[in-house]
Structure 1
Amino acid sequence: MALLGCGGAAPSVRHAPDTQWRCAYVPSRDEAAGAWKTEVSSARAGVHVVLVAAAGASRRDGVVGPTSPLHGILGMPRIYKPGSFLRIPLADGSFGYGRVLKLPHDAYYDYRTDTPDSDLDRIASKPILFKIMVRHMEERAWELIGWRKLEDQFSQPIVQFMQDIGNFRDCTIFDTVGNSRRAEPQECVGLERSAVWEEVGVEHRLLDSFTGRPNDDREYLKVRLK
């Protein structure tokens, strides 16, 4: 099996008969984890392993469809225009900040404030912590605080990896412009695994980054070297 790569404005998965089963690691809410544990025993709270099927002969092309077996569990997604600035309330009362890239990717700034900041120039001047795929949901308290055209730094392809569940040596490095190649596990160190994060998982990861704590989901999704 291989990990599912996601793309498109509203990532979803669908089943196709007589095809290679794949997995997608999806950081998610605890209540959804309870619903899925009956399907995949290796799923744990915060990170879900969802079995889906890949269409066509290729073992590595993810499936993106108009419907999803996850619909009704995760609720309705919210779509933001690329270039949008997001202000993110964190559990300790502080705020983090993100930027919507070409869907479904976001970038998150290395910037944390004790009071809400709406200065787009100041926010945009901060370095980027990470870029990941995110499913935005209606129930979270993230705020859209403005929009501007994406800067040149965001024109660079985003590079990620996939790793076979059964054979850790079977890895692929790919990017958002369609380049893809086989890789050794060691080459994937430092890259983001192809995964769709929920907003609550992003909140935890941001706060962990700001406070110098390892993030459980991030650690779980790192490439396996053995």
Structure 2
Amino acid sequence: MASKRIRRRIGDILQIDLGDSQHCYAQVAGEPVIVFFDGIFTETISMEDIPRLPVAFRLAVSNYAVTRGVWPVIGSRPLTPENAEEPFFYKQDNRDRLFLYHSSFAAQNYERPASLADCIGLECAAVWDPEHVVDRLRDHALGQPNRWVEILKIKIPSISG
């Protein structure tokens, strides 16, 4: 018997298993963004408190993380105003040009040229697989660099003379 597909809904609260009886929480925002909250937990946090946790990062994530139940939906709460805002991401093409990007429904994949300064502190526009996000959450909690983040960093061309 085929398993039932889960619908991805804005506001859904997700519990992400990190192994060793540890988990963290996330919340579905506008397609394809998920907000990941800071902290690793061994106990259950109140559904009311989860959306008020500090944000670790916001990423575009493959839909199957939710629709196939990789990360179970444990409830739903309204997004805070900050988490409802569409985040900007950066893109870099094969000629090292930079762009600001976001994929909100209203903007239909808004993109404009950007400077390096515009892009500092932004996430790379990439769709993450759940297993890579779990690696990143573990590394974040340990305060160590994450290899997937390092791969996606802005490439600054070397200047040779």
Shorter-chain TM-score bucket reads 0.7 to 0.9
What displacement does 1:157 show? Answer: 2.4
SS at match of 2:48: helix
1:147 and 2:76 matched: yes
Distance across 2 between alignment mates of 1:94 and 1:207: 10
Match of 1:206 in 2: 137
Structure 1 residues 96 and 172: alpha-carbon distance in aligned structure 2, compared to 1, 3 A threshold:
same
Aligned residues: 147
- What one-letter code is carried by the residue in structure 1 that aligns with 2:114? A
Q: Is there any run of 5+ residues in structure 1 with no aligned partner, and where?
A: 1-76
Alignment map for 1:1-226 (pairs within 5 Å): 79-115=7-43, 117-135=44-62, 136-137=64-65, 138=68, 140=70, 142-165=71-94, 167-168=95-96, 170-177=97-104, 178=107, 179-226=110-157
8 Å contact 2:29–2:84 — kept in the other structure?
no
Q: Is there any run of 5+ residues in structure 2 with no aligned partner, and where?
A: none
SS at match of 2:149: helix
- What one-letter code is carried by the residue in structure 2 that aligns with 1:211? L
Normalising by the residue count of structure 1, what TM-score does the alignment of the two structures yield?
Answer: 0.60
The CA RMSD over aligned residues, in Å, is 2.0
What displacement does 1:217 show? Answer: 0.2
- Residues 167-213 of structure 1, C-alpha deviations (whole Å, 9 max, x = no match): 11x11112345343211234322211111111111111111100111
8 Å contact 1:96–1:109 — kept in the other structure?
yes
8 Å contact 1:160–1:194 — kept in the other structure?
yes
8 Å contact 1:189–1:222 — kept in the other structure?
no
